[in-house]
Amino acid sequence: MSSIDKLIDIFKKFPTVGPRTARRFVYYLIKLPKNQIDELSRALEELKNNVKLCQLCFNPFEDSGGPSSADLCEICSDLRRNKNLLCIVEKEADLLSIENTKKYNGLYFILGGTLAMMRKEDIDNLRIEPLKERIKTGNFSEIIIALNPTPEGKATSMLIERMLKESFGAAQDLKQSFKITHLAKGIPVGGELEYADEETLESAFEGRK
Amino acid sequence: MSSIDKLIDIFKKFPTVGPRTARRFVYYLIKLPKNQIDELSRALEELKNNVKLCQLCFNPFEDSGGPSSADLCEICSDLRRNKNLLCIVEKEADLLSIENTKKYNGLYFILGGTLAMMRKEDIDNLRIEPLKERIKTGNFSEIIIALNPTPEGKATSMLIERMLKESFGAAQDLKQSFKITHLAKGIPVGGELEYADEETLESAFEGRK
Amino acid sequence: MSSIDKLIDIFKKFPTVGPRTARRFVYYLIKLPKNQIDELSRALEELKNNVKLCQLCFNPFEDSGGPSSADLCEICSDLRRNKNLLCIVEKEADLLSIENTKKYNGLYFILGGTLAMMRKEDIDNLRIEPLKERIKTGNFSEIIIALNPTPEGKATSMLIERMLKESFGAAQDLKQSFKITHLAKGIPVGGELEYADEETLESAFEGRK
Amino acid sequence: MSSIDKLIDIFKKFPTVGPRTARRFVYYLIKLPKNQIDELSRALEELKNNVKLCQLCFNPFEDSGGPSSADLCEICSDLRRNKNLLCIVEKEADLLSIENTKKYNGLYFILGGTLAMMRKEDIDNLRIEPLKERIKTGNFSEIIIALNPTPEGKATSMLIERMLKESFGAAQDLKQSFKITHLAKGIPVGGELEYADEETLESAFEGRK
């Protein structure tokens, strides 16, 4: 296979990229000065060598190795964060969106996905066991399940909540006893009552203040 | 002007209808059997004669006249509704959306619009004075400002809230003393954290439970 | 049924109008001054009484009755139009689009629809017999089948062409002998080669000049 | 700058990629097995080393070097292609679209862009001089200007046509004398007359057959 076709094949697997866009990427690269291709290769190499997943929350972070080498991301190793709050999110981008609000000061756990169906192989793809481990070693007073209110997110929320209750519910002898919370549903900024679905509107009414 | 052009002109002013759609409406009517045109004319005549605006909430309702003629809509004249709750909405469709949830049992007030700008003529188009009158004659413990979280809805919300405080705030001698509430903002059903704006996400966090 | 619900029912059948928009139309009408409702009713009455379909091309036109009453639309009765060209279109809006180009000076025939499937009842809805009649009484040198290059338009084009050939092909003794043409397919203004489908691109190449 | 941010910066410059998608690409890469990152790096290296632009038409092609090293792409070196036809396209993807129709058997020339404005620096970005050179050394009976019927494509078409006439028009002593053609404009497959702009509809009428 030619390197053009090989690259199209690789780019086609990138999220949101179809064959037409993959091809456009390759044409773009062909026209790029060679030193910029080298730059891309070097950045890939660095990514491969320096980026780790945080041992606690699975957030990727950069670590250049050496004596000061770390196992924890910037958030988990930040002493000023509230260690009693854990926010479970689906993916890195959700963590980032929440961080951008600058209103949450607790810790995170990246679940790694949500479930379309309750098949064993799908459940195995989520970081369920690492999550239990994380909670056992932590000291949380509140666990926020911050998954999307989509069908997949809701199903996964229910699964996580059930799992938490089974694993920790009767465990009053454990050091922790946490409450489980969920993000509020409601009308988003810019949204309109007329086009809101009933469940959203109900939540907006119930949560009024 | 021909009746075709006259009708196009009239339909063009209907909400969401542009000149092309207005023309399609007329072509549609031309092909309709004559008795169906008559039916439309009759329904318009009835609408003109029988539909009134409720004296209390401005919700349109049907009244065929006669000795049992009414001044109040079905909601305002329903004895089972909670007379201590008033929900201020922009328009009829919003009232209907809320009714469809079957979770709100109080009364309504249709404001008649929202403001893009704080111009006197725009403010005069809203039912501000009738709203004050409505509140004076009522006995409300809570007033829910249920306008859209759009820029116009927010500006109008602020205006209404200020007006309510000015008119009723110091009036502790009045029979009523109500709290003012707003619908919860949050992630709508089907929405995603990644694409939520910061204010929505903040509200979703603050309102978590 | 209330007049509000009756009107919603009627408007719901208008092209492109769903239940939500139908309701918005009714709320709009409720707020309209009564004399504007009367104006709409009068325009509907006039439409019903004055608009006829042209006996030759089925284009709707306005005729106020009286001694100068007409059976033909402005185009068919215009002596300056080229009576040797007939352009078959699906619907009134297509005729209008072509007229707006000011480049076609022949006559039209409005077929009244296209076919999704070759079912007898669908075929009966088209003005096939009136079209044959029209061609027999005319004197055409060219018949332009100007249906959309959509699947329905293409199927109907083929049907019309076959019908024309069967009815007039061997009829060399008839006074007319016309050629059948079709609009050119190609890249539309503003379109892009990259996103054109193969058939369009082929036509654009074949028709190059 | 971290390798994550460096990669986001690089991907942001890819066509159609914004900062959010660039970030998703990086998260995708972080989760990829390391050997797949290596594969991507190798494919980039090969692309850099093996892909050349054809000396005649500027189409990129793969050449692994060695004694059989070539200067011409598969099309330009294909003896069965018609060497009397030259089709000028804006970019590689347009060439590919035309090839996919399998109806054109001539040669190509990739102009490298189109012009939004007639600024000297923009014109210099196009391969105008190489195009003249190409035509001089060729033996063409027809030159097809196959640029998009967009404002930019049309302006560039006119520029190319004027340039061709200036350079080759009076050159009857040259060995070649070619005609200049343009792709047909018309209704695309799936399009509708009602929504076609006037110029498209005019072209569809003029090109009817």
Query: What pLDDT is attached to residue D170?
Result: 59
For C76-112, what is each residue's pLDDT tens digit? 999 999 999 999 999 999 999 999 999 999 999 999 9
Query: What pLDDT is attached to residue A171?
Result: 55
Classify D55 as helix, strand or coil. Answer: coil
Average pLDDT, chain B: 91
pLDDT > 90 in chain C, percent: 81
Query: What pLDDT is attached to residue A203?
Result: 93
Nearest in space to D76 (alpha carbons), one of D106, D38, D50, D46 = D106
* Residues in contact with D10: Cβ distance below 8 Å, sequence separation at least 6, in sequence order: A36, A39, A40, A43, D22
More confident residue, D32 or C63: D32
Contacts of C94 in chain D (CB under 8 A): 193-194
- Encoded tokens for A36: 């910029």
Judge whether C186 and D190 are in contact, CB under 8 Å: no
Q: Report the pLDDT averaged over residues C146-175.
A: 85
Judge whether B111 and B141 are in contact, CB under 8 Å: no
Query: What pLDDT is attached to residue A172?
Result: 52
CB neighbourhood size of B55 (10 A): 13
Contact C25 B46 (CB under 8 A): no
Query: What pLDDT is attached to residue B121?
Result: 80
Contacts of D141 in chain C (CB under 8 A): none
More confident residue, A184 or B175: A184
pLDDT above 80 (res B3) = yes
B19 contacts chain C (CB < 8 A): no
Contact C46 B3 (CB under 8 A): yes
Contact A192 B101 (CB under 8 A): no
A194 contacts chain B (CB < 8 A): yes
C37 contacts chain B (CB < 8 A): yes
Q: How far is A100 from chain D (nearest CA, A)?
A: 13
The helix or strand, by DSSP H or E, that contains position B12, with its residue range, turns out to be: helix B3-12
CA dihedral (B17, B21, B26, B31) positive or negative: negative
3-state helix, strand, coil in chain D (%, to 5): 45, 10, 40
CB neighbourhood size of B133 (10 A): 12
Query: Which of B89, B182, B200 lies at the smallest CB-CB distance from A208?
Result: B182
Which pLDDT band holds residue B170 (cuts at 50, 70, 90)? Answer: low
Residue C3 to residue A208: CA distance in whole angstroms: 35
Q: CA-nearest residue of chain C to B7?
A: C43
pLDDT above 70 (res B171) = no
Q: Which amino acid is at C62?
A: E
B186 contacts chain A (CB < 8 A): yes
The helix or strand, by DSSP H or E, that contains position D200, with its residue range, turns out to be: helix D198-206
Q: pTM for the whole thing?
A: 0.81
B7 contacts chain A (CB < 8 A): no
Q: CA-nearest residue of chain C to B38?
A: C45
pLDDT above 90 (res D121) = no
Q: How far is B158 from chain A (nearest CA, A)?
A: 15
Query: What pLDDT is attached to residue C124?
Result: 85
Nearest in space to C112 (alpha carbons), one of C89, C82, C140, C84 = C89
Which pLDDT band holds residue C143 (cuts at 50, 70, 90)? Answer: very high
Contacts of D39 in chain A (CB under 8 A): 10
Window from B111-120, C132-141, D96-105 with minimum mean pLDDT: B111-120
Query: What pLDDT is attached to residue C102?
Result: 94
pLDDT above 70 (res B98) = yes
Q: CA-nearest residue of chain A to B150?
A: A190
Domains of chain B: 3-48 (1.10.8.420), 85-206 (3.40.1360.10)
C93 contacts chain B (CB < 8 A): yes
Q: CA-nearest residue of chain C to B34?
A: C48
For B11-31, what is each residue's pLDDT tens digit? 999 999 999 999 999 999 998
Q: Tell me which DSSP letter residue B183 carries.
A: P
Query: What pLDDT is attached to residue C63?
Result: 83
A15 contacts chain D (CB < 8 A): yes
> In whole angstroms, how large is the CA radius of gyration of chain A?
21
Give pLDDT tens digits along chain A (209 positions): 788 999 999 999 999 999 999 999 999 999 899 999 999 999 999 999 999 999 999 999 988 766 667 899 999 999 999 999 999 999 999 999 999 999 999 999 999 999 877 778 888 889 999 999 999 999 999 999 999 999 999 999 999 999 998 888 755 555 558 999 999 999 999 999 999 999 999 999 999 98
C3 contacts chain B (CB < 8 A): yes
Query: What pLDDT is attached to residue B118?
Result: 74
Q: Report the pLDDT averaged over residues D81-100.
A: 96
Nearest in space to D17 (alpha carbons), one of A98, A28, A51 = A28
To probe the interface with D, which of C108, C145, C194, C206 has the most D CB atoms within 10 Å?
C194
| Pairing, β A51-53 against β A60-62 | antiparallel
Residue C95 to residue C172: CA distance in whole angstroms: 30
Q: Report the pLDDT averaged over residues B43-52.
A: 94
Query: What pLDDT is attached to residue C32?
Result: 93
Query: What pLDDT is attached to residue C106?
Result: 97
For C5-62, what is each residue's pLDDT tens digit? 999 999 999 999 999 999 999 999 998 999 999 999 999 999 999 999 999 999 999 8
Which pLDDT band holds residue B174 (cuts at 50, 70, 90)? Answer: low
D105 contacts chain C (CB < 8 A): no
Q: How far is A141 from chain D (nearest CA, A)?
A: 30
Q: How far is A160 from chain D (nearest CA, A)?
A: 23
User: Exposed, middle or buried: residue B175 (CB in 10 Å: 0-12, 13-18, 19+)?
Assistant: exposed
